Each structure stands twice: as C-alpha cells, then as structure tokens.
Amino acid sequence: MYDTHILTDVGCRSVWERGKKVGYCVNLKINYYRGLPLCCVDEITLEVDGKPVDPAMMYVQHQGREYPYLAILQDDFPTDFYWIFGELLRVVIRQEGGIEQGRHQVKLRLGTRRSYTPTMVAECEKVLTFA
C-alpha cells in the first residue's frame, strides 16, 4: 500500500565533513499509517546501482540524533524514539567519496513490526537524483 512512497528523492546527496565527501544519504518514509518506535524497524536493506549496501556502513539520523543502523536492531535499543507517519528518516551510508551526482537506481526493503501482527515488509525501487 505504501510501497511506492517509502523511498523519496528528497535530500538525496553526498555527505560532507570537514570539506571531504564521507558518504551519501537517502530519506525514507514509514510503511505504516501510524508512527512506530525506531526499535520496531526490523529491516532496512538498500541496493544502489545493483550493489548491496553493507548494513555496517549505514547510520540512521532521526530528530537530531544519529544511530548505527545495526544498533536499532538490538533488543536493548530504547523504545522512546518515534518515527512519525510522514516524517523523513535519513539513512546515511558512510562511504569514502560519497556518490556521484546524478541519477542512480536505488532499491529499498523496509520491514517494520507492529503489535499483534507480523512484520510488514515494503519494497520500492526508483531512480533517484543525487545532488
């Protein structure tokens, strides 16, 4: 239902620190009609131009905080950080050199867990333009 909307081209760009490209980012929208705690994210899988992104290189930025993606999958991750419907969740991929400006094929698989129901998985593949 929300599959085509979970991957946005808003804010796709290289990430710079101290004048050096250190990665790139994409922004996601939740695949559910309500907000969920970040600890209810079971899976974020990215593929860019046919190449899988290493989950250890992914970081999630939410409400001014940054978390290693693998940390939000741990059982002890706090339950009070909410991802609200319509709100963008930024995923930063730490990769030296960032990404080339222009169009790239991006594939996303997003799994979220809700009370009393199985994990909902949404998939989306789009050509995004990176600044």
Question: Which residue bears the tokens 């907000």?
Answer: 35
Q: How confident is the model at residue 98 (pLDDT cuts 50, 70, 90)?
A: very high
What confidence tens digit (pLDDT) does each residue in 30-51 have?
988 888 988 889 999 999 999 9
What confidence tens digit (pLDDT) does each residue in 17-31 have?
999 999 999 999 998
Tell me, what CATH number does 63's domain have? 2.60.40
Q: Which residues contact 29 (CB under 8 A, 6 or more apart)?
A: 2, 5, 6, 7, 8, 85, 86, 87, 88, 89
The number of domains in the chain is 1
Domain that holds residue 105: 3-130
What confidence tens digit (pLDDT) does each residue in 1-17 have?
567 789 998 999 999 99
